[in-house]
Amino acid sequence: MSATIQEQMAIAMSRELRDNEVVLTGAASAVPLAASLLAQRSHAPGLTVLGAGVYINPQRLVPEFSAGWDCRPTAVGDLGDVFAITELGIDVMFYGGMQIDEFGCVNVHEVATPKGPLRGPGMANTMLGHTAKRTILFTSRHEPRTLVSAVDFASVIGHARRGRTRSELGLPNGGPAALFTPAVLMRPNAEGAFRPDLTFDDRPWQEVLAGTGWAIDEQRPPRFYPTEEELTLLRSSVDPDGLLRAQG
């Protein structure tokens, strides 16, 4: 049974989550939401999922996780709850970004383009990058304009920024534990720089090298394979409508 890239990313992400943790997904995060629901239905039944910060333990995967979708949560909070958990901290925060750099810094504010500045969502729970015990980064594109050597603006600090480490910057939490792209799963090395750990498909490695805005290993890492049990559970219980299959 073959899995799409989106399904592989969701299954691999689910393995990052642990029982009894509290995780928060963003407002347009179908893959992290699928990963969280899969973890709940498999190895982490005590996981608490805060979808978009306010939808507590949603029961249904939706295309783009935002207000108005019928995600069937067990409870709904409000923005006051979001700000409270931002201050208190949680276990895991998922972050996508307009730019993600070699050390896991994320830019959700603004990037320069030939037509002028392109603005992002800005301060959308960026403090959770510094109060959550760890973050998990993801992007739907493996290309050099997204995966850059250094972000234009560090909305969320990774393992280092401009030569200073997290500890030197006074950030006590663990920072980004993994970076998921449609091509690879990356993890930080001893210096905090992200390097490929697993691949999700058999695209030419030169294409992956060209799509990464920093130097990575010339040797292809091992291939990721979901188990048949994981894929069956994902399709039957989490994503019966095939949203992740439709995304390829």
Q: What is the pLDDT of residue 83?
A: 78
* Paired sense of beta strands 116-119 and 110-113, if any: antiparallel
**Average pLDDT of the residues of the chain:** 91
Copy the structure tokens of residue 33. 């939401």
Bigger pLDDT: 89 vs 239:
239
Which structural domains are found in the chain, ordered by start? 5-246 (3.40.1080.10)
Lowest mean pLDDT among 16-25, 98-107, 121-130, 185-194: 121-130
pLDDT tens-digit readout, 218-227: 999 999 999 9
HEC letters along 51-79: ECCCEEEECCCCCCCCCCCCCCEEEECCH
Q: At 65, is the pLDDT very low, low, confident or very high (cuts 50, 70, 90)?
A: low
Highest mean pLDDT among 47-56, 71-80, 110-119, 180-189: 180-189
At 120 the pLDDT is 75
* Contact between residue 175 and residue 159 where contact means Cβ atoms under 8 Å apart: yes
